Structure 1
């Protein structure tokens, strides 16, 4: 039995943030009914296609019941209210004001179900001067402070790169999933506050900025891009190897640092006053990184990794997806699963990132992302008792 079995969620989500939240909840066993417009979620048109079907949606929509409704119609609105009436939570990520305009604002939803937890995910939040501005994930990265940090120092002619996935949407989705479970627990225990959850992309990224806000408040410091390094710990960087591949090394605890210096043939550096503590290593990181880079330049990435593994120094080559799929640790942890998708055939899925005693990772993928409206008859007929 999965942990959230019995929890009922209605998703009025499109694109990424809310659907990512419900994917996590569905993986954990919640019944998720995804309400899509008649033409389907716009994200179905993103990414590569196989036999005319979106590959990403196999994962993005997995374990969800897909129904199609026109929210702007009276029939669509009434059906959403019926769904909300039997649900524990409704998660949406439309722009602020849209739900109210189509007659599905919190007051109307709570009239249908006073205990309903409503999670609202938006670009900037439900209030504030920017609430009505449009936003996608890249805007959350930019305004939340993350994109400022992804540049290489002094590389002002090139734009700071994004991380390659919609990280601010995913973060907001994770926070939404956690908040929904928390609020449902509160309702179960008689706490009826917190029935409306307001989450946004910018705040989700901003929450990750670690010590940067207190540093600014106390000292006026504005942390600048560090490239592959980080200002607060050393050595932790990515170093070029003899075969042109990169190796990430994190040797920033004092004990690990001593082992690292022994491996690279520089044991005297471990007792050098410039490097004996993390603080002094941070002050002299250029000389330290140069010594490590000189060593990795003489080894292939695999040779360097094996030498550091033998000394228990945290390190890893930079994996691409092929490396992930072929790695024995990924295989042993069942992180890559081959599943049967009725629309795509055999397809690889990432396992849910959480493991529970007595629950197989494969138990969490009950079915793949379905075609838009695939479950209309089941949901409206069997669950709501409506005529076909």
Structure 2
């Protein structure tokens, strides 16, 4: 069945339709986890502090009091304003969770327990409940009570140490990659726990630590260290031990990324750039041989790219079927025909301006995810959600007057 990459109509069924999620998190990891579930049809009720809301609402560029990031991070969610520190607010959350499948939270361990909203308390009324708990260091261990943002997880998990050039300080990836990785592991854990609940009827806790989510991505670093105590260091744009795979400067000052590390691809590339001598050299026939001559090969490729423009380089490499590409800015991404054809650039209205949002990943052929609405106003769905729990309008008014909602 062919993929249907463009945004589907609202009548198309979604795979997580009927799944109820309560989001108690703020900023990035917890909300992104819940967002991924919302994109595929789960009903996500985001609980925010009255009058304040998620701090992400105020991060980076703003429109009408909310950040542009917010409209993406909170898409398809319902915003309910509830004071979690007040007993009446905690009771509202307990009633919401009693009818939920999943709770997503990313407070410091022990915080929910202080509010009588820990897993044991909530599972008494809902034994099938699945709670996704995202934190810097996990729910156990000697560091569990320490504050831990994504930057700390990226550093402790090994990513920062190998990112950058060997003669400079380690650098960060330009996004909150640690939070996002933890969020995705949270989704994997939630769906795995749902499958288990389908056979056992029992819920459970999904414990995701940011540093562990990063550490899980570190490929061969630990096995190599355990084998002979080797420590992988920063290597700039190259990929150590896999040759050639690097970024090269072209004659027009632009950069081309080339991954020609497969044996047959290496031969095609070297012939295409006029270096048949290297293509036919038997000592370079496999990666082990090429690794020994990494600097020589990078120099040969760099000497060629310096004589051509980026477009010329890409044309030669494409003809030789060598994996290669330009380094995209966000302007390049928004204008790219492939991104557009795959439905990865969504256009929505935000006041009198267009709002561009990234499309939903992955693409499902029969039940694709979609954006039903952009991030809501603070407390936009509070009254409707409370009415669905049986709260009369008079009580809702009293709760609002008392600062509970």
| Fold agreement, TM-score > 0.5 | yes
Quick check: 2:164–2:235 contact (8 Å CA) kept in 1?
A: yes
Matched, 1:114 2:127: yes
After TM superposition, list the pairs within 5 Å mapping 1:190-209 onto structure 2. 190=200, 192=202, 195-209=204-218
Match of 2:402 in 1: none
How far did 1:52 drift? Answer: 3.0
Per-residue displacement from partner, 1:137-185 (whole Å, max 9, x unpaired)? 11111000000111212x13xx222110000000000000111011011
How far did 1:340 drift? Answer: 2.4
Please, which runs of 5 or more residues in structure 1 have no aligned partner?
none
- After the TM superposition, which of the residue ranges 72-81 and 276-285 deviates more from structure 2? 276-285
After TM superposition, list the pairs within 5 Å mapping 1:1-388 onto structure 2. 1-38=13-50, 39-153=52-166, 155-156=167-168, 159-190=169-200, 192=202, 195-341=204-350, 345-359=353-367, 364-381=370-387, 383-388=388-393
Separation in 2 of the partners of 1:358 and 1:184? Answer: 21
Per-residue displacement from partner, 1:265-314 (whole Å, max 9, x unpaired)? 10110222442211111121111000001111111111111211111100
Separation in 2 of the partners of 1:232 and 1:307? Answer: 25
How far did 1:345 drift? Answer: 4.2
Closer, same or farther in 2 for the Cα pair 1:373/1:355, shift >3 Å? same
Give the TM-score of the pair, scaled to structure 1. 0.95
Separation in 2 of the partners of 1:182 and 1:333? Answer: 28
Quick check: 1:53–1:344 contact (8 Å CA) kept in 2?
A: no
How large is the Cα RMSD of the aligned pairs? 1.3
How far did 1:344 drift? Answer: 7.2
Secondary structure (helix, strand or coil) at the match of 1:189 reads helix
Separation in 1 of the partners of 2:69 and 2:336? Answer: 22
Separation in 2 of the partners of 1:190 and 1:264? Answer: 60
Stretches of 4+ moved more than 6 A in 1? none
Separation in 1 of the partners of 2:232 and 2:368? Answer: 43
Per-residue displacement from partner, 1:341-375 (whole Å, max 9, x unpaired)? 4x6742000001111114466xx100000111111
Quick check: 1:50–1:344 contact (8 Å CA) kept in 2?
A: no
- Report 1 or 2 for greater relative contact order, CA contacts < 8 Å, sequence distance ≥ 6: 2
Quick check: 1:2–1:359 contact (8 Å CA) kept in 2?
A: yes
Please, which runs of 5 or more residues in structure 2 have no aligned partner?
1-12, 394-405
Per-residue displacement from partner, 1:13-66 (whole Å, max 9, x unpaired)? 101001001111000111101111111001111111123321110000000001
Separation in 1 of the partners of 2:353 and 2:309? Answer: 38
Quick check: 1:175–1:204 contact (8 Å CA) kept in 2?
A: yes
Closer, same or farther in 2 for the Cα pair 1:360/1:198, shift >3 Å? closer
Separation in 2 of the partners of 1:33 and 1:308? Answer: 49
Separation in 1 of the partners of 2:248 and 2:182? Answer: 32
Secondary structure (helix, strand or coil) at the match of 2:116 reads coil
Give the TM-score of the pair, scaled to structure 2. 0.91
